[in-house]
């Protein structure tokens, strides 16, 4: 059932036509980039190429386009390649210890700017910088310090070069994350640091996604998102002041775990195609130059957006059908919704309508205020449960933990509801999509507030008669695995728990994890970091788990090292708690191989069947 699924990344515009990327699980997780050629979807990359970046471990921004120039990182050859005028060439090679991501192409300056990550050794943190690669330099170029234009900060993102020669970028330092406090600066490409201007980030502000655009008079300005109002809204910097565009009590973006992408698209008439969250869902529409919001349609989720002179393209998902890239024709100044054509989809297989579980929004009272989630009832085209019986429930915990549970159609949820399970997908305190205050609730309370939110949500579903309270399981991936384990330790609500490459020891995580998240743990846990009870391996954590546990983990995980999973399994075994550890060789943080996806599903299904038998 998972062989034909893919992950869509994009779209982007080179000023003429849309481009997008597809990660195909039936090709071992290989990523290729596509475009429309005479209206037909056509792949630009070869079958032996894998377009992928691993900067900050989560990667992103491995490709970009401008005026017919397509640049990308080929993970297999460890090189930066350029396709121009139908010819593909290797522009630069990445020596051992060098990674590149968040590419941006400037046709007018014949350059690529990007984020570079350099590892000097395995014992110290990597160094990050912004580099510039000339398109016309004889190559292949060997990336080294001679190409550096910015350095000295802990992290960089979104370097973008304007036709005027002005560079913009995002930077931040430990202990901050991109969603807690960042700065946006600009400076001439010849000396950006020496003549830098601070655009945003003077106070506690997350400013992200700077994008050069022309205003209604044709002058270059800078658009960006900021949460200075309490919500991630759009702003414009005209070179001397910052102006708010269509203020609203709604987020336009989510937490940027990966680099690259653009969540809004400026158009020649001064309007901006974007989407904003409303009650947990996205509203796709456009912001007019006079500040009016024109809503087009409600979507379960909207990702990246691109626009050309007479078209708009969006990465969109819906509750009852697979998502993908949609392209619609539209003229300048037109505010009505385009007639969309789907050019790529995340899932090839289509379920009959009666087999699709449609989520229902739920809200319940948590210790810090209202908590939100999505309830999925069982759905099948061929089977139904016994009359009057309540279904077993799986509580889903998203990772991050600064992330969000969307209501979009996804096979990894429908495969459970098709088999008679109900689901509760929880946006616990700390999730994005509900403003800065909701997102900040989890500071110093991870493993407490998220846990109580999830336990109470499961109990609410049972009390409402929507699930069997004696057949409730909980599962989580990455940070969600930590929350799931803590929930099982703190409550007798759950019959079993599944941890998928989950965090199990926050103290060792703070010592051993990668640079991006190495200070994040202390922000989430606070002074409890030195206390063993903050971890499921501590005496008040693991010792309280009595229900069976299934652990699924990749052998090459650098975010949550496999040692954490092994020590958890050993400790549970010593306490005679039923536990099974399944290790997938070669997999990292996030499973990609279709064989892994199949086996992880079958192992998990068998685990639930044993619990319910």
- Average the pLDDT over 364-371 and give the result: 96
- Average the pLDDT over 342-363 and give the result: 85
Measured distance CA(16)–CA(61) in Å, rounded: 20
Q: Please, which pLDDT band fits residue 2 given cuts at 50, 70 and 90?
A: very low
Rounded (10°) CA dihedral 385, 387, 389, 391: 30
Q: Please, which pLDDT band fits residue 336 given cuts at 50, 70 and 90?
A: confident
Nearest to 112 by CA among 129, 144, 77, 136: 136
Average pLDDT over the chain, rounded to an integer: 90
- Average the pLDDT over 387-394 and give the result: 89
Is residue 333 over pLDDT 80?
no
Is residue 383 over pLDDT 90?
no
- Average the pLDDT over 449-465 and give the result: 96
- pLDDT attached to residue 3: 45
Is residue 474 over pLDDT 50?
yes
More confident position, 594 or 84: 84
Q: Which helix (H) or strand (E) holds 385?
A: none
Question: Which structure tokens are listed for 93?
Answer: 């090679």
Rounded (10°) CA dihedral 588, 593, 597, 598: -140
- pLDDT attached to residue 612: 94
DSSP per-residue string spanning 288-319 = -TTS-EEEEEEESEEEEEEE-SSEEEEEEE-S
Nearest to 315 by CA among 335, 351, 342, 279: 342
Distances (CA, A) of 549 to 423, 596, 607: 19, 19, 9
Is residue 572 over pLDDT 50?
yes
Contact 181, 174 (CB under 8 A): no
Is residue 5 over pLDDT 90?
no
Count of helices and strands (H, E) across the chain: 8, 37
Question: Which structure tokens are listed for 421?
Answer: 């399970």
- Average the pLDDT over 491-520 and give the result: 88
- pLDDT attached to residue 77: 94
Nearest to 457 by CA among 354, 370, 536: 370
How do residues 506-517 score in pLDDT, each as one tens digit?
A: 877 777 778 898
Least confident of 6-10, 12-16, 178-182: 6-10
Is residue 463 over pLDDT 90?
yes
DSSP per-residue string spanning 545-573 = --S-EEEEEETT-SSS-HHHHHHHHHHHH
Measured distance CA(48)–CA(45) in Å, rounded: 8
Q: Please, which pLDDT band fits residue 269 given cuts at 50, 70 and 90?
A: confident
Is residue 87 over pLDDT 90?
yes
Starting at the edge strand that comes first in sequence, how are the strands of the sheet with 155-161 ordered? 155-161, 166-172, 183-188, 197-200
The residues near 467 (Cβ < 8 Å, ≥ 6 apart) are: 390, 391, 392, 393, 422, 424, 458, 461
Class of residue 266 by CB neighbours under 10 A (exposed 0-12, middle 13-18, buried 19+): buried
Q: Please, which pLDDT band fits residue 1 given cuts at 50, 70 and 90?
A: very low
- pLDDT attached to residue 394: 98
Angle value at C-alpha 591, between 589 and 597, nearest 5 degrees: 155
- pLDDT attached to residue 361: 95
Contact 255, 178 (CB under 8 A): yes
Q: Please, which pLDDT band fits residue 539 given cuts at 50, 70 and 90?
A: very low
How do residues 541-567 score in pLDDT, each as one tens digit?
A: 556 889 999 999 999 998 888 998 998
């Amino acid at each position: 059932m998972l062989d034909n699924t893919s992950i869509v990344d994009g779209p982007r515009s080179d000023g003429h036509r849309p481009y997008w990327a597809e990660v195909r699980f039936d090709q071992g997780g290989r990523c290729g980039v596509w475009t429309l050629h005479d209206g037909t979807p056509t792949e630009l990359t070869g079958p032996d190429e894998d377009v992928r970046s691993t900067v900050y471990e989560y990667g992103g921004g491995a490709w970009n386009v401008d005026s017919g120039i397509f640049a990308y990182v080929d993970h297999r050859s460890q090189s930066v390649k350029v396709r121009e005028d139908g010819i593909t060439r290797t522009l630069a090679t990445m020596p051992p210890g060098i990674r590149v991501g968040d590419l941006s192409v400037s046709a007018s300056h014949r350059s690529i700017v990007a984020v570079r990550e350099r590892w000097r050794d395995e014992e110290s943190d990597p160094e990050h910088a912004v580099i510039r690669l000339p398109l016309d330099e004889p190559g292949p170029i060997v990336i080294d310090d001679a190409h550096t234009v910015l350095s000295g900060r802990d992290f960089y993102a979104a370097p973008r070069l304007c036709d005027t020669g002005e560079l913009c970028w995002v930077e931040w330092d430990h202990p901050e994350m991109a969603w807690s406090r960042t700065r946006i600066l600009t400076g001439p490409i010849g000396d950006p640091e020496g003549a830098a201007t601070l655009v945003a980030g003077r106070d506690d502000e997350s400013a992200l996604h700077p994008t050069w655009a022309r205003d209604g008079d044709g002058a270059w300005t800078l658009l960006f998102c900021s949460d200075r109002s309490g919500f991630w809204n759009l702003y414009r910097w005209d070179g001397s002041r910052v102006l708010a565009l269509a203020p609203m009590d709604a987020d336009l973006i989510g937490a940027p775990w990966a680099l690259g992408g653009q969540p809004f698209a400026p158009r020649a008439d001064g309007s901006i195609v974007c989407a904003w969250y409303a009650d947990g869902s996205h509203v796709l529409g456009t912001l007019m130059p006079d500040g009016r919001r024109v809503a087009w349609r409600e979507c379960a989720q909207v990702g990246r957006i691109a626009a050309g002179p007479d078209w708009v393209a969006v990465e969109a998902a819906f509750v009852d059908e697979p998502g993908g890239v949609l392209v619609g024709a539209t003229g300048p100044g037109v505010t009505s919704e385009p007639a969309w054509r789907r050019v790529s989809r995340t899932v090839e297989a289509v379920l009959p309508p009666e087999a699709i579980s449609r989520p229902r929004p739920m809200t319940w009272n948590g210790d810090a205020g209202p908590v939100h989630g999505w309830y999925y009832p069982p759905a099948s085209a061929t089977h139904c449960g016994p009359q009057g019986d309540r279904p077993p429930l799986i509580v889903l915990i998203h990772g991050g933990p600064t992330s969000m549970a969307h209501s979009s159609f996804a096979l990894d949820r429908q495969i459970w509801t098709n088999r008679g399970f109900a689901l509760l997908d929880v946006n616990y305190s700390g999730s994005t999509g509900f403003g800065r205050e909701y997102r900040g609730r989890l500071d110093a309370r991870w493993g407490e507030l998220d846990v109580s939110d999830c336990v109470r949500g499961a109990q609410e579903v049972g009390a409402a008669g929507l699930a069997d309270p004696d057949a409730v399981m909980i599962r989580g991936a990455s940070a969600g695995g930590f929350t799931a384990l803590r929930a099982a330790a703190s409550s007798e609500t759950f019959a079993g728990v599944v941890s998928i490459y989950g965090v199990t020891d926050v103290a060792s995580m703070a010592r051993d994890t990668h640079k991006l998240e190495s200070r994040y743990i202390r922000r989430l846990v606070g002074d409890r970091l030195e206390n063993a009870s903050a971890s499921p391996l501590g005496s008040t954590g693991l010792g309280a788990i009595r229900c069976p546990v299934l652990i699924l983990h990749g052998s090459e995980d650098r975010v949550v090292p496999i040692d954490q999973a092994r020590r958890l399994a050993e400790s549970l075994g010593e306490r005679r708690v039923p536990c099974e550890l399944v290790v997938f060789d070669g997999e990292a943080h996030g499973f990609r191989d279709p064989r892994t996806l199949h086996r992880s599903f079958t192992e998990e299904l068998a685990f639930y069947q044993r619990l319910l038998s």
